[in-house]
Each structure stands twice: as structure tokens, then as C-alpha cells.
Amino acid sequence: TKGAAVLAFDMGASSGRALVGRLTEGDSGRSRLEVTEVHRFPNHAIQVGQHLHWDTLRLLHEMKKSIRFAFQMGYEPATFGIDTWGVDFGLLDANGELLGNPYHYRDSHTEGLIEEVSYLIGRRELFEQSGLQFMPFNTLYQLYAMVKAASPKLEVAKTLLLTPDLLAYLLTGVKSCEFTMATTTQLFDPARQEWNTELMDRLGIPSHLFLEPVQPGTVVGPLSPEVQEELGVPAIRAVAVGTHDTESAIAAVPAGDEPFAFLVCGTWSLLGTEMAGPLLSPETMELEFSNEGGVGGTYQLLKNIMGLWLLQECKREWDEQGKEIGFPELVRLAEQAAPFRSLVHPDDPRFFSPGGMADKIRLFCAETKQPIPQSEGEIVRCILESLALRYRQALEQAEKLTGRVYGGLHMVGGGIQNELLCGFTANAIGKPVWAGPVEASAIGNMLMQLVALGECKDLQEARGLVAASFPVDVYEPQADAGWAEAYETFLGFGRV
């Protein structure tokens, strides 16, 4: 039997993907989710004068192509859903037109604003009213940067749409605001479950820009008549899924009923655990964890870790130098390099902005009196070991905050294709790693469409579908004294 088909757009910081999911009946009569990629395209940050931007219209173009491809391949998706990275947004004018090019969250205009806003509002108050780790790119700081720059765009703007809502609007003409993305702004109060308009007023951020959030699983509307005609396709409907990619990925963790720890591994690494509500304690703030709204009424207590960005940036630099070494080869070189020679703290702020990454790593090693990694293999080994140690630290902190002990770590997302990293992680935490699925965000995106279509009852049932459909690779920890010693060095870097 041919079940309902759904189309998922998963936009990452370096590439976008479109995948079709279809419910099929397995041998045992159990439902399975069958996933096929229909299109994959690069996504680039583009520097224009002083600012770093996203190429929103290019993304729209590639999404339209994806819809056409899906139908050409014979699929007839009933719905589509969009998930993207957090925090970024576009502004619309009174005629509903996009005002300029959305800023990229790595734009330097938010530099120094964490300190300034903390001084104006108070750290404690800010945390209790947002539940978020103070990250320089949070929407709050981006908007405050525009306020300080007396941005004319901000003055004429009528509506703010977060990236997935913006892309859905460009395809449907319907404006919406989905809850999980709203909770990444630092302007949403998780205790009161509403926009924090007092905070906006105090910072001069216009509160009339924000729409009432809707829960994941809400139908937004059909493709606009113009887009239907352009593509020659029927009026398939947009569903507001867990539009924040991290939340869609967590929805696709094949966990049972027990509390579990996860690591969503992509450009960023998000490590944490699923909760029934936000944990707004002073310890959560001190250990720099976030409470992000998830699908199915959950809150995700997690730490934002710089992640494979460090490796992606090194590779970009080496590519530009004409070296063109692929990821599998880089990982092989790392495997051959000497272990525990030099380590960095991945969340040192110097690693946040693009460019010069290999030299930033060397400088960190020099400053901390460690051997300076020279070759590509040495640099990559340093990055992967450092990340694994950071994961151990974050997992221990999550256990401390929740008072629970986790039996292992679920890893999902593109980063799990790096088997060396999965193995290092198991060794560093001294517990098994369960890796899979790779396309977690797209799959979680599909699950909420299936819930919206009534094909799945709820998140729990949908998660069962993941376990039945995708294999999980198990990495057992190898006893190796090197990791314990390296962890001591790592803790010496002194960051929480």
C-alpha cells in the first residue's frame, strides 16, 4: 500500500536538502518511513560591504526546483515542512515585501552586545525571562544592533518572520510564527509562554513586529496560486513543523520512554536532554545551558557547542589554497596523527567568526603552552579530540542539572558520518554512543507533517517509526587512560 507522502526542506548553514518521506508497510506489517533525497544544494554566507548575509532568494529558487523535482519523480506530497538554523529573520514592509537581505547570524554587528544588554537588563533577569544561553547571535542582539544603527529597515518594518516562516511565506503568501523558532530569539518568555514585550520596549525593539506563535503541527496554508502556476503543481500545503532544525532533529531521536541524552551533530553540536518544561535555575545560567522549545510540548535543556564548524572552516581554507582534501581523507589523516598532542576549547569566542581557523587553533595551542599542530592531520585530530572532551563536560553538566544519570548518548545529524568522532566521544564519556539517523532534522520534520495529517497520533508514536525505519550504529567505549588525562588538561582551560 502506498501511504501519504510528505516533503521536508532542511536548511543547514552550508547546504540545503529536500527529501520525500513515504509511509510503507514492512514485512511484519509494521509501518516504516521510507526517505528519498530529491535535491541538495549549497548554502553560502555572502559578505556585502560591512555585513554578512544569507542568499534568501537563491534558497527560494532551490526550494521551487525541489518541489518540481519531487513531482517529476512521481511523488505527490500532500504537505511540505521547512526547518532551518535558529535565530535569523527577515523583515517585511506594509506591502508584504521583503526588506533587504537577511543578516547571517555570524555578522559581526552583535559584537560586544551581550555585555551591553546584560548591563542594561541584568544577567539574572534576562536569563529568567528567556531561559537561553547568552549567545552573541540571538535575535535579541541582532535587533538591538539594528536599533543602535538606527536601521531604516527596522523603522518601516511591519512584520518579522523567522527564516523558516519567511521561506514558507515566500511560497504560500501566509505569514506565521512557529513556536520552536520563537524560543530561539531570547525575546520569548518560556515561563509566561508569550513574547516579552516589556523587554522589547526597554531595548527599543518594536514589539508590533511579532506574530502570535503556533505549535508545531499547525497547517500554514497552500502554495500560492502564483507558485502553483509557475511550477505546474497542485496546492500542496505548508505545515509548521518543528521549524528549528535542532528541535526537528531531537524529535527524530529513536529513544524509548526513559529520559535520554542527545547530541545533535552538524555545524553546531547541541548536547542535552528532553524535559517537560524549562529549568530556569541559577545553576542552568551558570553552566550556560539553554531551554529551547521543542515539539510535542517539550523543552530541550541543551548546551550550544561550536561543533564541526571548526573543521568546516579549516577545510574551506585548505580548499581555497587548492588542497581540496575531502572530509573522509581529513579524518583518515587525523587517525594517523599522534593522540592527545594538543587540545583547544571549541567554545573559545575567537573560533566563532569565519576565517583563519587553522591559525586561530595554532595560536590557542601556543598560548596554552602546548605543541603547535602543523599538518592537516594534526589540526583535525586536535579538533575532534577537543570536541569529544567538550561533549563529556557538557554531558556531566546535564547530569548535574537534572540529577539524572544517562546510560549513553544518542548522536544524530550529519556529523555522525565522522566515525572517528563518534568513537572518540564514546571513549571520552566512557559510555556507549548510539549513532543515527543521519538525516535527523529532515526526518523529524516529516514526523510532524505525519502528525498534522493524522498518520501518527503523537510524537511518541512518530519516534517509534524512526526506530523501526533506520539503523543505529553502536560505539562501545574503549578503556584508554589517555582520555582521562586529556580531560584534566581540557578542564584546565577553565570555561564552563
List of residues contacting ligand LFR (CB under 6 A): 85-87, 105, 244-246, 266-268, 270, 304
CA distance 113 to 135: 10
CA distance 18 to 82: 9
Q: Taking CA 80 as the corner, what is the angle to CA 79 and CA 81, rounded to the nearest 5 degrees?
A: 135
Shortest distance, CB of residue 66 to ligand LFR, whole angstroms? Answer: 19
CB closer to ligand LFR, 268 vs 475:
268
Shortest distance, CB of residue 302 to ligand LFR, whole angstroms? Answer: 8
Q: At what angle do helices 376-402 and 419-429 cross, to 10 degrees?
A: 50
CB closer to ligand LFR, 56 vs 246:
246
Q: Taking CA 385 as the corner, what is the angle to CA 379 and CA 391, rounded to the nearest 5 degrees?
A: 135
CB closer to ligand LFR, 293 vs 436:
293
Asked whether the beta carbons of 163 and 11 are under 8 A apart, the reply is yes
CB closer to ligand LFR, 39 vs 244:
244
State the sign of the Cα–Cα–Cα–Cα dihedral 19, 25, 27, 28. Answer: positive
Shortest distance, CB of residue 88 to ligand LFR, whole angstroms? Answer: 7
CB closer to ligand LFR, 186 vs 304:
304
State the sign of the Cα–Cα–Cα–Cα dihedral 78, 59, 86, 190. Answer: negative
| Strand partners of residue 28 | none
Asked whether the beta carbons of 323 and 282 are under 8 A apart, the reply is no
* 359 classed as catalytic: no
CA distance 326 to 315: 8
Q: Which of 245, 257, 319, 348 is catalytic?
A: 245
CA distance 380 to 377: 5
Shortest distance, CB of residue 323 to ligand LFR, whole angstroms? Answer: 27
Shortest distance, CB of residue 249 to ligand LFR, whole angstroms? Answer: 8
Assigned C-alpha cell, 52: 554578512
Cα torsion 376, 378, 381, 386 to 10°: value is -110
Shortest distance, CB of residue 444 to ligand LFR, whole angstroms? Answer: 13
CA distance 106 to 11: 16
Asked whether the beta carbons of 358 and 339 are under 8 A apart, the reply is no
Shortest distance, CB of residue 453 to ligand LFR, whole angstroms? Answer: 25
State the sign of the Cα–Cα–Cα–Cα dihedral 229, 234, 235, 239. Answer: negative
Residue in the shown chain whose Cβ atom is closest to ligand LFR: 86
Assigned C-alpha cell, 445: 520534520
CB closer to ligand LFR, 309 vs 434:
309
CB closer to ligand LFR, 195 vs 268:
268
* Residues annotated catalytic, as ranges: 245
